[in-house]
Amino acid sequence: MPTIQLLVVQPTPFCNIDCKYCYLPNRTSKAVIARKTLYNLFSQVFSSGWFGDGLSVVWHAGEPLVLPIAFYRDAFGLVESLRPPRLQVVHSFQTNGTLIDDDWCAFFAEAQINLGVSIDGPRHFHDRNRLTRSGRGTFDRTIAGIRLLRRHSIPFHVISVLSAASIASPREMFDFYVAEGIERVCFNIEESEGDHISETLRASGIEAAYYRFLGEFWKLSAAAPGKIKFLREIETALQQVIRPKEVQFYNQLVQPFAVTSIDWAGNISTFSPELLGLKNPAYNNFILGNVNRATFADLLDSPLLVRLSADIDAGVAMCRDQCEYFSVCGGGEPVNKLAENGTFASTETAYCRLTKMRTTDLILKALDQISPDGFDRGSITSEGERFDEAAVSCETSPSMRRTG
pLDDT of residue 244: 79
List the one residue out of 219, 118, 228 whose CA is nearest residue 182: 228
DSSP states along 53-91: SEEEEEE-SS-GGGS-HHHHHHHHHHHHHHS-TT-EEEE
pLDDT, tens digit (0-9, with 9 covering 90-100), for 165-182: 999 999 999 999 999 999
Query: Is the CB of residue 348 less than 8 Å from the CB of residue 319?
Result: yes
pLDDT of residue 200: 67
CA 88 → CA 53, 311, 343, 368, distances in Å? 7, 33, 37, 40
Give dist(CA 58, CA 61) in Å, integer: 10
List the one residue out of 149, 364, 348, 352 whose CA is nearest residue 240: 364
The gap from C-alpha 171 to its chain's centroid, in whole angstroms, comes to 24
pLDDT of residue 193: 53
At CA 80, angle to CA 99 and CA 93, rounded to 5?
Answer: 25
Residues with Cβ within 8 Å of 277's Cβ and at least 6 positions away in sequence, in order, are 10, 13, 23, 24, 25, 26, 61, 194, 263
Q: Is 274 helix (H, G, I), strand (E, B) or coil?
A: helix
pLDDT of residue 398: 38
pLDDT, tens digit (0-9, with 9 covering 90-100), for 250-295: 899 999 999 999 999 999 999 999 999 888 999 999 999 999 999 9
Query: Taking each helix axis from N to C terminus, what angle separates 206-222 and 232-241, rounded to the nearest 10 degrees?
Result: 100
Q: Is 230 helix (H, G, I), strand (E, B) or coil?
A: strand
pLDDT of residue 265: 96
**Which residues face 116 on adjacent strands?**
94, 157
Residues with Cβ within 8 Å of 242's Cβ and at least 6 positions away in sequence, in order, are 367, 377
Q: Where does 6-248+386-391 sit in CATH, by number? A: 3.20.20.70
Give dist(CA 19, CA 61) in Å, integer: 12
pLDDT of residue 198: 60
Low-confidence ranges of the chain (pLDDT < 70): 191-203, 371-404
